Amino acid sequence: MNLKTTVLGQTYQFRDVKEVFAKANEDKSGDQLAGIAAADSRERVAAKQVLADMTLADIRNNPLLPAEEDEVSRVIEEGINEKIYSQIKNWSVAELREYLLSHQAGDSEIKRISRGLSSEMIAATAKLMSNLDLITAAAKIRNVSHCNTAIGQAGVLASRVQPNHPSDNVQGIKASLYEGLSYGIGDAVIGINPVIDTADSVKDILMMTKEVMDKWDIPTQNCVLAHVSTQMRAIRQGAPADLIFQSLAGSEKGNKAFGIDVALLNEADELMRKEGTSTGPNFWYFETGQGSELSSEAHFGIDQLTMEARCYGLARKYQPFIVNTVVGFIGPEYLYDSRQVIRAGLEDHFMGKLHGLPMGCDVCYTNHMKVDQNDMDNLGILLSAAGVNFVIGVAMADDVMLNYQSTSFHDIAAFREVLGLRPAPAFEKWLEKMGIMENGKLTAIAGDPTIFM
């Protein structure tokens, strides 16, 4: 395996595959903070040249984090279809990229070869792609999932309604929920981030959301995004949970910082199959975000894009209903400005889709980043064009509990209208029954939550 190349008369010799991966990554403040980023654009180009010529077998045979040292690596290894891998293992990363972008590679062809790819192979491909490449390849892939209802179909842009409240006041949550529903938002999930991480609080919120769903016959699913162990206690106490949630990291050490491991996820998976209230077969909601492993000193010198891809390799094991990257939530230490946030959102969406995941994105930023709402409009419309399964809807794009900026209810309505996209089919029928939507367009009463009072 060649780890050396010459660019404009200067020779670059890389130590190992891990260094090539890190320096081939597009500019990210997190990689700079970790001390592993390319020194300049010329070194980045050199690393990309070396990476482009690597074969998929080279990547698998030189693991960045060996399976004997990390359970996430073991999950990724165990998930590879060996027959398919054997047919493509001698492809270079450049050849894989060319295939994904070729006219002969459609949804079914890409899904087939994806079963023979590791997360690191997928990450390597993303590093060689332009933003338009990431959009073009992701748009070919439709990963449909089903909980109570199905999302991910061609022409569908689903949404999570996120009616968070700074004190978990159930009536306050309900008021925000009704506003979101009135804009046609909530077909992916009614998902609340709780302030109070107790089983009783989680149960109260789940019961309220289920009562609203039953009263208005809403075809969707509910979830409270507490720690998985808290949700498990609430479910065992009779809480009506359609989905179970957890944030993931790309290493065993990173997941321990989240208070989880594969054994706990397996236990939660079994509990949902026995006591969850949804139809299934997809019961999980996972969230990720570039940089979380650096925060917990659990990245092992691996760049943040590749660690993010490994999150998707772990998520794939559980066949989730939805996964989303909370792309700009962690802050400028990891993604400094709009250019980096937009790039990361497109990378994450592509990598999740190529893993076979029903991939969404929280198009968001924190107030100390060099980003504004226009940048989020740009990323939102790009992801919608790329076929993102769902995005997040927050009242006025301003989350009053988590104190960050996302996309508003009416932003998502605009994405749909501009690109000719629709809500999930069952949810659209409900919107028509309620008079909120007609012929794929919002009606005059849309945005008026008093229709639920």
Residue numbers in the known binding site for adenosylcob(III)alamin are 194, 246, 295, 401
Asked if 223 contacts 285 with a C-beta cutoff of 8 angstroms, the reply is: yes
DSSP secondary structure letters along 277-339: -S--S--EEEEE-TTHHHHTT--TT--HHHHHHHHHHHHHTT--SEEEEETTSS-TTTS-BHH
In one-letter notation, the amino acid at residue 320 is P
User: Residue 405 gets which letter from DSSP?
Assistant: E
Positions at the binding site: 160-162, 193-194, 246, 287, 295, 362, 401
CA-nearest of 206, 203, 210 to 237 is 203
Positions at the binding site for substrate: 160-162, 193, 287, 362
Distance CA 49, CA 4 (A): 9
Distance CA 446, CA 451 (A): 9
Q: Counting Cβ atoms within 10 Å, is residue 339 exposed (0-12), middle (13-18) or buried (19+)?
A: middle
- Residue 140's contacts (CB-CB under 8 Å, 6 or more residues apart) are 100, 105, 106, 107, 110, 387
User: Residue 158 gets which letter from DSSP?
Assistant: E
Distance CA 269, CA 5 (A): 47
Distance CA 134, CA 100 (A): 10
Distance CA 431, CA 437 (A): 5
- Alpha carbon separation from 401 to 164, 291, 372, 395, 404 (Å, rounded): 6, 22, 19, 11, 8
